[in-house]
Amino acid sequence: MSEDFAEFYAARKDAVLRAVLVATGDRVGGEDAAAEAFARACAGWDRVRQHPEPTAWVIRVALNVYRSWWRRLRREVLGLLPERTGELLGIAPATVHVHLHRALETLRVQAAAERPRRS
């Protein structure tokens, strides 16, 4: 790692992480995405340092990494619904949506019960 990149990283890591956390709302995923973006910046530092805004470049890459992860997860989860989910849970595929709605309603009621009451 070049001294130039080390200085850039030390000066910008907190700002990049804050931006990614604000955009994603996900601490663990945001940290992973920021780390991956800095790793890519380090690997291509000769090119990245020529960018007009290297910090913006790192933030954009981190957000792209996070979005790619989220899309893969979404495809995996949605790939299970409803036919495969029914198989895995031992539920008839035609009734998966009924069970899903019941579970979501239960979560909504629980969340409402845990919310502090306003006086």
Q: Are residues 65 and 7 in the same domain?
A: yes
Q: Are residues 73 and 89 in the same domain?
A: no
What does the alpha-carbon distance between residue 93 and residue 82 come to, in Å, rounded to a whole number?
A: 6
Higher pLDDT, residue 48 or 116: 48
Query: How far from 64 is each of 32, 57, 71, 117, CA to CA, in Å?
Result: 12, 11, 10, 39
**pLDDT confidence band for 118 (50 / 70 / 90):** low
Q: Are residues 38 and 64 in the same domain?
A: yes
**pLDDT confidence band for 109 (50 / 70 / 90):** confident
Q: Are residues 11 and 45 in the same domain?
A: yes
Residue 16: give the domain boundaries. 1-80
Model pLDDT for residues 36-91, shown as the tens digit of each residue:
999 999 999 999 999 999 999 999 999 999 998 887 776 766 665 555 666 666 66
Q: Are residues 25 and 48 in the same domain?
A: yes
* Number of independent structural domains in the chain: 2
Q: Are residues 75 and 91 in the same domain?
A: no
Q: Are residues 117 and 61 in the same domain?
A: no
**pLDDT confidence band for 32 (50 / 70 / 90):** very high
Length of the chain measured in residues: 119
Cα dihedral value 19, 24, 29, 35, nearest 10: -20
Q: Are residues 7 and 62 in the same domain?
A: yes
pTM of the model: 0.64
74: CB partners within 8 A, 6+ apart: none
Q: Are residues 70 and 93 in the same domain?
A: no
DSSP labels for 45-90? Answer: HHHHTTSS-HHHHHHHHHHHHHHHHHHHHHHHHHHHTTHHHHHHHT
Find how far residue 56's CA is from the centre of its chain. Answer: 18
Q: Are residues 72 and 107 in the same domain?
A: no
Name the residue type at position 7.
Answer: E
Query: How far from 20 is each of 12, 15, 26, 36, 79, CA to CA, in Å?
Result: 12, 9, 9, 12, 27
State the residue for tokens 């790619």: 68
Q: Are residues 59 and 109 in the same domain?
A: no
Q: Are residues 19 and 69 in the same domain?
A: yes
